[in-house]
């Protein structure tokens, strides 16, 4: 953001559905169970988390984390390229944080994974942060409703034809 205006916005074909498909393939389960496993287990990011899962014999957590990570590696690579491209536009174009939206932003350790990979602050977007009337919107829905909130704030004449 520069002066409150988004300077770089990137949609990605990598989505929660891509992650669910990877979990389905890696764990040999159907879509409904893969979605459940993805939400329950999330990612194992630190060596301590991975060691604890190994020690406990938690093959499910390890398998899900491996599946999710395999998809997120591509997304992290895409993000690094975009940050590098933007930063090359001039010394005043340095990225200090990344805001992530979408339902998958709620996956356990999602933010920690990207903070580690990008080596910078990564936050879940809250499109309701400056909307007083949105106080009752559950936090789990903030990142999911980013596009809807943005569209709801549009006014006639926002887009120049």
The string of pLDDT tens digits covering residues 102-159 is 888 889 999 999 999 999 999 988 877 877 777 788 777 777 777 777 777 777 777 6
**Dihedral sign, Cα of residue 73, residue 53, residue 142, residue 122:** negative
* Phi-psi region at 10: left, alpha or beta (left = phi > 0; alpha = psi -120 to 50): beta
Q: State the pTM of this model.
A: 0.79
């Amino acid at each position: 953001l520069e002066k409150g205006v988004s300077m770089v916005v990137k949609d990605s074909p990598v989505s929660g559905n891509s992650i669910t498909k990877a979990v389905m393939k890696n764990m040999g389960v159907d879509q409904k169970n893969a979605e459940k496993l993805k939400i329950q287990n999330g990612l194992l990011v630190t060596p301590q988390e991975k060691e604890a899962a190994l020690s406990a014999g938690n093959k499910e957590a390890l398998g899900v984390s491996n599946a999710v990570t395999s998809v997120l590696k591509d997304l992290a690579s895409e993000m690094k390229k975009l940050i590098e491209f933007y930063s090359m536009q001039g010394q005043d174009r340095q990225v200090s944080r990344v805001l992530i939206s979408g339902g998958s932003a709620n996956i356990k350790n999602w933010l920690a994974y990207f903070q580690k990979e990008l080596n910078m602050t990564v936050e879940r977007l809250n499109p309701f942060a400056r909307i007083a009337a949105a106080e009752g919107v559950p936090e789990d829905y903030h990142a999911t409703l980013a596009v809807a909130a943005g569209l709801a704030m549009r006014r006639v004449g926002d887009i120049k034809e």
